[in-house]
Amino acid sequence: MLRPADIHPGAGERRISMEPVNLTEKGKKLAHPAEFAPRIFADTADMDEIKPLKEGGIINGVTTNPTLLKRAGADSWDSADKIMKEIVKYMAPFPVSLELTELEPEKMVVQANKLAAFGDNVVVKVPTGGYRLMDRDPFTGLKMIRRLWEMNIKVNATLIFNTTQAFWAANAGAAYVSPFLGRLADYMYKHDHVERVPGNSLYFMEDHKAPDGGPERTANSAYVSTDGPRKNAGVRLINEIVAVFNNYRIKTEVLAASFRNSVQLMECLLAGADILTVPAPLLMGVADHPLTDEGMKAFFEDSKVFDR
């Protein structure tokens, strides 16, 4: 568990250097108390999930990926495009992330232009790495992030699992970085055997060779945040990225992604994440608590006496 004492002091300072989220119109007497609140996105491509959350004022953005589109019923590019366009239109002017699937730079640019043309609120999601495994230039993602920045297209650098990936994506020009804290936590939960692995290395020698078959990627010891219990590596990663961005006044927003439970939501808020993208079922429960249910029922029952 991340505790308030773990949080670096600069987190709040960094947030107030960003654009306010809850704007108070000029001349309004009561200023909004949470001007610099984090933004909350729904991590889904399902319009039935998006609508009640937008109407409830719970979300101000959406993130999608090919898996979420497939889950929402897309089974061809035509249907995927149709779903993406509908979300972009419905959510405008709030940002909607749509992911690149091409691997060749020129095709990636064509696809990015196509997605960006769906609406001014489109953010193009670019996988930061993973290209070496696909026999491509390892810097394909970072080069694309820089190229799209030069083209004035906002990028969400995705599939981030360590702080250095986040830094290099920001350095290339990404508007958002998306650390997948839930997947990292799942991985740690499944594979972390303290007795087998010295230090904080996420990768076991026997499990993960370099994609080109080379020696173990010892640099992967940086794949997780340092210090403390390793099971909350996901949330500590967010904390660490926020601290690094704070050090260098990097304005790239830290978009915490891949949530599994509401404790992780709370910890990311403590850590100073700029944006939380959350699966709809988790968001539907944010106003509830068993003791709230109990208290609400009692107050309602007791108020009936006034009707007499």
Give the residue with the Cβ less far from ligand G3P, 161 or 167: 161
Give the residue with the Cβ less far from ligand G3P, 178 or 246: 178
128 belongs to the binding site for ligand G3P (CB under 6 A): no
Site string for ligand G3P, 45-64 (x = CB under 6 A): ------------------x-
Distance from C-alpha of 39 to C-alpha of 48, rounded to nearest angstrom: 21
Site for ligand G3P in 275-294 (CB under 6 A): 277
SS3 98: strand
Q: Is 125 a catalytic residue?
A: yes
Distance from C-alpha of 224 to C-alpha of 233, rounded to nearest angstrom: 6
In single-letter form, the type of residue at position 7 comes to: I
DSSP summary character for residue 25: P
Site for ligand G3P in 205-244 (CB under 6 A): none
- Supply the minimum distance, in Å, between the C-beta of residue 307 and ligand G3P: 47
Is the CA virtual torsion 193, 196, 200, 203 positive or negative? negative
DSSP summary character for residue 20: P
Give the residue with the Cβ less far from ligand G3P, 154 or 246: 154
Helix or strand (DSSP H, E) at 245: helix 233-247
Strands 39-43 and 62-63, bridge-based pairing:
parallel
156 belongs to the binding site for ligand G3P (CB under 6 A): no
Q: Which of 85, 114, 125, 251 is catalytic?
A: 125
165 belongs to the binding site for ligand G3P (CB under 6 A): no
Cβ-proximal residues to 184 (8 Å cutoff; 6+ apart), any chain: 161, 202, 224, 233, 234, 237, 258
Site string for ligand G3P, 168-187 (x = CB under 6 A): ----------x-x-xx----
- Supply the minimum distance, in Å, between the C-beta of residue 254 and ligand G3P: 13
Residues in contact with ligand G3P by CB under 6 A are: 43, 63, 65, 68, 178, 180, 182-183, 257-258, 277
